[in-house]
Structure 1
Amino acid sequence: MAEVESFNDFIRGKTIFVTGATGFVGKVFVEKILRVQPEIKRLYLLIRAPNSDLATQRLHNKVFGKELFKVLKEKWGADFRCFISDKVVAVAGDVSLQNLGIKDKNMFNQMLKELDIIVHTAATTNFNERYDVAMSTNTMGAFHIVSFAKNCHKIEIVLHLSTAYVCGEAEGVILEKPLHGDQMKKGSAKLDIKLEKQLIEDKLTELRMHETNEEEIKSVMKSFGLARANVHGWPNTYVFTKAMGEMILMKMKGTLPFIIIRPTMIISTQFEPFPGWIEGFRTIDVIVFHYVNGTMKSLVGIGETILDVIPVDMVVNFMIAASMAISKGLSKNLVYHVGSSLRNPFTLNDLVDDMYYYFTKYPFVDEYGKTIVVTKKLTISSHVNHLSQNKVVIKIEDFLKPFSMFKGIFDDKNAESLRMVTKRVASMDGRFDFGFDPKSINWKDYMMNIHFPGLMKHSIKKLSIGSKM
């Protein structure tokens, strides 16, 4: 370990390709890389757009225009745009397409020659996505990334960001093991990804033959995805298609230097680039939102259920550390869980208590200036009582049940081993923090002083009370 460079030294001079840069984790990863190592050679960011001009425009609107980058902008001042233009290339494309949808052949060939690291974070995270869309992005996106990576001349590491919930409705200690196509969650029918693709095509053909309108097609394909997920033992289309993506990776990877990182429920930044930044609503935040605006009084769940949450900057730190560890031969493991349930559990009861204490002290003021006063804790019950709930809450409860009643704990022996290996490396990076130990989190302090205030500022206050979640 004495000869191992720091994380910053590892990144220096590298050319990195990131998919999903407009997403939550992708943005935080890009920001950290540019902030801690300005001497990166180049950062290629795949942006879903028909051409490079629109890709660049979307990049500045959806990524660099966000408050997340305020620390980096303050650092560079008037030179920020020049710095970004020099280091970042917007690549027009789409992971769901062959060759990642990259039409610029010169850029495509240049990337094949230059790339050192590929970070694949692109995904549709909508649990109730239509099946054809989720399959194209989450499953076939993995196929296209591997196909692309195999043609790269000097690739050091390919990092695939998955989700710990590819385990389905598992119970007990869930190990950091690869997924294979012959691993079924329930039932006797073997999961055949080619068959699933064919079923999608057949369903779409049938709908179009009957001249079904687009709205109805969307609805049918959403229901179809959920039905297929349930048949094979997964609770929603998102985790089902992500699981199939992993299966494809395992079948295709060959000798590629590959790692699969499975974070649990990702929530706001704990420290970097500043505490409490979040975009949109993470899983538990749906509960927070409906509790503070008074639409949710009770929730189907088990109070002792562990809500495995982890700050997004901790996930990004792990991604960087794991990339170096695999590249330098410091770790041989393929799959890593990044979560908190084993080493520092946070329960549904903890969330209920923290919400009550925070929002009685700091009541929510809606868009019309009305103060919504919280008078009771959210009631947790293992029994469904839809008589007292409106349709929105019933839908939310169905969405949350796989988490509010989850009976698994994610083992993180591989992640802990990597923590031990990289501990000294992290200490070499001076003022930049690369920590990812969940035991360091004080959940009450984090929720009360970081997450809830950040959620109110960046997500809840920007969402109209009348908007649909």
Structure 2
Amino acid sequence: MAAFNKISSTYKPVAEYYAGKSLFITGGTGFLGKVLIEKLLYSCKDIDKIYILVRNKNNIEVNKRMNQMLNNPLFTRLKQNKADCLTKLIPIVGDITERNLGMTPADERLLIEKVSVVFHSAATVQFNDPLPEAVRVNVEGTKNIIDFCHKLKNIDMLVHISTIYANCNRKIIEEIVYPPPVDFTELNTYIQTVSCDEKTTTNILGNKPNTYTFTKAIAESLIEKEHGKIPTVIIRPSIVGPIKNDPYPGWLDNWFGGTSLFWYTSIGLLRILPGSADGVVDIIPVDYVCNLMIVAAVKCQRSKLLHVYNSCTSECNPVTMNELTKLVLQEKNNNYFTYPKVHFTTSKNMMMLLSFVLETIPAYVGDIWLWITGRKMRLVKLHSIMNNHREKLEYFTSNYWQARCNNTKSLIVSLSDVDRKTFCCDSTDINWKEYIQTYLVGIRKYLLRSND
């Protein structure tokens, strides 16, 4: 710890460190990537260039995808106050799963000469992608990034985005890299010779609940094994929620994580959850994760060691399932029903019974009322969708972890007052009542496009 503080005290302020530097970002068009790009351009205005790897996805050419991204409300303050900074954002056609990242030789030469900081956040986040696909993107893609970083002439830092749930087979998650569930080379050879049906995949996963957490764990070990002399940081967020502070509190662009369950709870459709009322839910705002990525790159860029930072709340600022659902229900967003609480159970039979009595029957009754009053019936369909989401998240609502954050605490302490405010990543300052209000407003405003 003393050595860390001694080294970090010699570093420049965050914005000053990035001045004149060129960055390379994968996953830049995703939820986390967009927030990272906006923050870098707005708060580190003297950055030279930000190169973003973009695929020609769904036959939509790269420039059109970039324009779609920049038309997102997230970039409004940047356009209004620092529009010239947008010219620093340069798309590079490519794909992390391809050799040389699928770039043209000219683009590769350009990046090799220019780039000094790499943020790797591209991944498939679907829980149950087929194992070969998850390996191809999350593991092979990460290896391709490491190989690319070794070519860079002026590499200062590689920042890799993982998840605390890569280690969900452990109840206490330290800020270290754990042994991989399997050897990557052996796994790769094996899945190329067998058909990865559901039974085979389950056997391979072992104590991991899905292909996402399994492959992210292997990617971490690959980073540790092959980063060599490249200064490297692994950032492990928990469940990533909408923006808490800036640029726009509540902003989000997807229904992933617990977002859908929060909404169904707020409108009274969700009344039963698998798990314990006293179980701790670990949610972290997306801007806190991105700010941690930005400052960790600065603070560790002279160290050849691999640094791991958990971006989480379970240890520093815990909130239970019961507390969280009560806060959601207090917001009184109930469009269909008014119901005072959510029940919790660890029994599958009780889960089915309570769901039928407290959710399914009211959904049918509600649809009958909508039909009688001349409105579109929707509640039974919504309940079916909600039930599917709940089943996918059952492992994470039924199990609880404590993610240690000593490294993150030390990093935050090492920041100046100005940088600590500009790049806020201290989870102890989250007021859960205020954040849940912000969360639900964000769902209505940015996902449902409602002005109410």
What is the TM-score of this pair, normalised by structure 2? 0.85
Q: Tell me, in whole angstroms, the C-alpha distance in 1 between the residues paired with 2:247 and 2:200.
A: 37
Q: Tell me, in whole angstroms, the C-alpha distance in 1 between the residues paired with 2:253 and 2:58.
A: 26
What are the superposed Cα offsets for residues 339-391 of structure 1, whole Å, 9 maximum, x if unpaired? 11111101111121011111x2x333xxxxxxx13323221112122243576
Aligned to 1:170: 170
Q: Tell me, in whole angstroms, the C-alpha distance in 2 between the residues paired with 1:397 and 1:51.
A: 29
Q: Which of 271, 282, 288 is the aligned partner of 2:262? A: 288
Q: Tell me, in whole angstroms, the C-alpha distance in 2 between the residues paired with 1:70 and 1:156.
A: 31
Please give the residue correspondences for 1:38-49 in structure 2 after superposition, counting only pairs within 5 Å: 38-49=45-56
Q: Does structure 1 retain, via aligned residues, the 8 Å contact 2:231–2:302?
A: no
Aligned to 2:342: 378
Flag the 1:383–1:461 CA change in 2: closer, same or farther, 3 A.
farther
Unaligned runs of 5+ in 2: 1-7, 361-383
Q: Does structure 2 retain, via aligned residues, the 8 Å contact 1:268–1:277?
A: yes
**What is the DSSP-based 3-state SS (H/G/I as helix, E as strand, rest coil) of the residue aligned with 2:151?**
coil
Q: Does structure 2 retain, via aligned residues, the 8 Å contact 1:180–1:250?
A: no
Flag the 1:291–1:407 CA change in 2: closer, same or farther, 3 A.
closer
**What is the DSSP-based 3-state SS (H/G/I as helix, E as strand, rest coil) of the residue aligned with 1:235?**
coil
Aligned to 1:345: 318
Aligned to 1:197: 188
Flag the 1:456–1:199 CA change in 2: closer, same or farther, 3 A.
farther
The Cα RMSD (Å) is: 2.4
- Are 1:454 and 2:442 an aligned pair? yes
Please give the residue correspondences for 1:184-333 in structure 2 after superposition, counting only pairs within 5 Å: 184=181, 191-203=182-194, 223=198, 227-228=202-203, 230-231=205-206, 233-328=207-302
What are the superposed Cα offsets for residues 164-203 of structure 1, whole Å, 9 maximum, x if unpaired? 11112322x321111333xx4xxxxxx2323332343334
Flag the 1:226–1:286 CA change in 2: closer, same or farther, 3 A.
farther
Read off the aligned partner of 1:152 and give its amino acid letter.
L
- Are 1:69 and 2:44 an aligned pair? no
Flag the 1:2–1:19 CA change in 2: closer, same or farther, 3 A.
closer
Tell me how far 1:426 sits from its aligned partner.
1.5
Flag the 1:228–1:112 CA change in 2: closer, same or farther, 3 A.
farther
Q: Does structure 2 retain, via aligned residues, the 8 Å contact 1:356–1:376?
A: yes
Q: Does structure 1 retain, via aligned residues, the 8 Å contact 2:52–2:91?
A: yes
Aligned to 2:93: 92
Aligned to 1:10: 17
Unaligned runs of 5+ in 1: 185-190, 205-219, 365-371, 463-469
Q: Does structure 1 retain, via aligned residues, the 8 Å contact 2:127–2:211?
A: yes
What are the superposed Cα offsets for residues 68-124 of structure 1, whole Å, 9 maximum, x if unpaired? 101111114xxx3x642x31110111111111111x211111101111100000011
What are the superposed Cα offsets for residues 97-156 of structure 1, whole Å, 9 maximum, x if unpaired? 111111x21111110111110000001111122222211111111100100001110100
Tell me how far 1:328 sits from its aligned partner.
4.6
Q: Tell me, in whole angstroms, the C-alpha distance in 2 between the residues paired with 1:60 and 1:380.
A: 44
Q: Among the aligned pairs, what percent are the same residue? A: 26
Q: Does structure 1 retain, via aligned residues, the 8 Å contact 2:159–2:235?
A: yes
Flag the 1:65–1:224 CA change in 2: closer, same or farther, 3 A.
farther
Q: Tell me, in whole angstroms, the C-alpha distance in 1 between the residues paired with 2:189 and 2:306.
A: 34
- Are 1:120 and 2:132 an aligned pair? no
- Are 1:20 and 2:9 an aligned pair? no
Tell me how far 1:409 sits from its aligned partner.
0.3
Tell me how far 1:296 sits from its aligned partner.
2.6
Q: Does structure 2 retain, via aligned residues, the 8 Å contact 1:278–1:459?
A: yes
Q: Does structure 2 retain, via aligned residues, the 8 Å contact 1:226–1:235?
A: no
Read off the aligned partner of 1:55 and give its amino acid letter.
V
Flag the 1:433–1:83 CA change in 2: closer, same or farther, 3 A.
closer
What are the superposed Cα offsets for residues 242-264 of structure 1, whole Å, 9 maximum, x if unpaired? 11111211121111111111011
- Are 1:354 and 2:327 an aligned pair? yes
